[in-house]
């Protein structure tokens, strides 16, 4: 019995010795889960993201609805455009709510329901918004939009032909750069069904992340989106191929918005970055692309773009 008592005491001392380490591991695991949860909430907000600018604007007037297509995760889009909503509120003297949706398709559905008074759209969505709905062009980024096929700096791929047998990640099927890149690969003689494996993602940053973790050999993205990703996360890519350009992403406005408001918005956007701190930050965040007046005729090239890029 005495021997048994001595052994039990030894076990107790051993258990006491390990308890602090166990507590530390549990605390570390809890912290890790908390951080992962915070990242998930930041990059994957639920069905929509809404930001109401808090200013002294009149509460008697209904708030304008301002949206943007989800180029990157919804939380990051909110960070990019919420200050713009505040600036618009101050300029217009009327509340502006920024809202977006978590996918390209849901955002396009919002355009079709004409829920936005003004919005930031990619070129192919602009054509739909103007031709089918009741939106007008306002201001666009000055440089052309190109589809950039990006790889890691150490990648052995150097041409479109090198993509044969490889996995290429892309933003959603309706994204401008997706359509442009698929056209380029077809013109290079690649069979989109047999020669390459195409993997579609929800956003540009999700596409780039697949290359970072080596789950894809290349990613199709826009220069503005890639710049934002590289600046934010400190990662870098090498350009494998760049397509010819088309008129860039633009701000649009619904016809129901009074003309004087449309003119004030255009004046504000085209005065950046000189006119305000918000404007300076926004232009810097967007690869130093300035905003200039957009003209509907400039987007006729989109109307002539091949509509059915068959993956044969």
**56 lies in a domain?**
yes
**pLDDT at site 308:** 75
Are 163 and 135 part of one and the same domain?
Answer: no
Count Cβ neighbours within 10 Å for each residue of 115-151 and write b for 16 or more, e otherwise: ebbbbbbbbbbbbbbbeeeebbbbbbbebebbbbbbb
Are 132 and 163 part of one and the same domain?
Answer: no
Domain span holding position 202: 148-242
**pLDDT at site 93:** 96
Are 70 and 87 part of one and the same domain?
Answer: yes
What is the rounded distance in angstroms from the CA atom of residue 237 to the CA atom of residue 230? 8
**pLDDT at site 4:** 42
**20 lies in a domain?**
no
**pLDDT at site 43:** 39
**pLDDT at site 161:** 97
**pLDDT at site 123:** 97
Are 140 and 56 part of one and the same domain?
Answer: yes
- How many domains does the chain divide into? 2
Domain final residue, candidates 197, 215, 242: 242
The domain that holds 163 is classified in CATH as 3.40.190.10
Q: Could you tell me the pTM of the whole model?
A: 0.81
For 85, the 3-state DSSP assignment is: helix
**163 lies in a domain?**
yes
Domain final residue, candidates 242, 265, 289: 242
Are 91 and 225 part of one and the same domain?
Answer: no
Are 154 and 140 part of one and the same domain?
Answer: no
What is the rounded distance in angstroms from the CA atom of residue 48 to the CA atom of residue 50? 6
Are 139 and 255 part of one and the same domain?
Answer: yes
**39 lies in a domain?**
no
Are 112 and 254 part of one and the same domain?
Answer: yes
**pLDDT at site 228:** 92
**2 lies in a domain?**
no
For 149, the 3-state DSSP assignment is: strand
Q: Are 120 and 251 in contact (CB under 8 A)?
A: yes
Q: Are 281 and 275 in contact (CB under 8 A)?
A: no
Q: Are 155 and 217 in contact (CB under 8 A)?
A: yes
**Which residues of the chain are under the pLDDT cut of 70?**
1-59, 310-312
**pLDDT at site 289:** 96
Are 238 and 286 part of one and the same domain?
Answer: no
**pLDDT at site 44:** 40
**200 lies in a domain?**
yes
């Amino acid at each position: 019995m005495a021997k048994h008592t001595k052994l039990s005491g030894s076990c107790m001392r051993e258990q006491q010795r390990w308890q602090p380490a166990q507590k530390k591991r549990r605390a570390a695991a809890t912290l890790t889960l908390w951080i992962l949860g915070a990242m998930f909430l930041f990059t994957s907000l639920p069905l929509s993201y809404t930001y109401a600018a808090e200013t002294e604007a009149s509460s008697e007037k209904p708030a304008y609805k301002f949206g943007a297509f989800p180029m990157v995760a919804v939380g990051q889009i909110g960070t990019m455009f919420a200050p713009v909503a505040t600036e618009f509120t101050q300029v217009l003297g009327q509340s502006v709510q920024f809202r977006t949706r978590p996918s390209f398709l849901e955002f396009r559905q919002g355009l079709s329901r004409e829920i936005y008074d003004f919005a930031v759209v990619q070129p192919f969505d602009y054509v739909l918004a103007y031709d089918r709905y009741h939106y007008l062009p306002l201001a666009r980024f000055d440089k052309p939009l190109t589809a950039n096929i990006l790889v890691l700096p150490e990648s052995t791929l150097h041409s479109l032909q090198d993509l044969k047998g490889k996995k290429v990640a892309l933003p959603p099927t309706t994204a401008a750069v997706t359509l442009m890149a698929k056209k380029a690969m077809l013109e290079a003689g690649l069979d989109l069904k047999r020669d390459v494996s195409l993997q579609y993602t929800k956003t540009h940053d999700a596409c780039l992340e697949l290359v970072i973790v080596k789950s894809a050999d290349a990613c199709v993205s826009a220069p503005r989106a890639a710049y934002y990703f590289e600046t934010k996360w400190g990662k870098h890519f090498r350009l494998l191929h760049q397509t010819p350009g088309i008129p860039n992403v633009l701000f649009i406005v619904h016809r129901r918005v009074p003309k004087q408001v449309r003119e004030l918005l255009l004046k504000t956007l085209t005065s950046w970055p000189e006119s305000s701190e918000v404007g300076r930050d926004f232009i810097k965040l967007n690869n130093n692309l300035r905003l200039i007046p957009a003209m509907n005729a400039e987007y006729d090239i989109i109307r002539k773009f091949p509509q059915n890029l068959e993956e044969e």
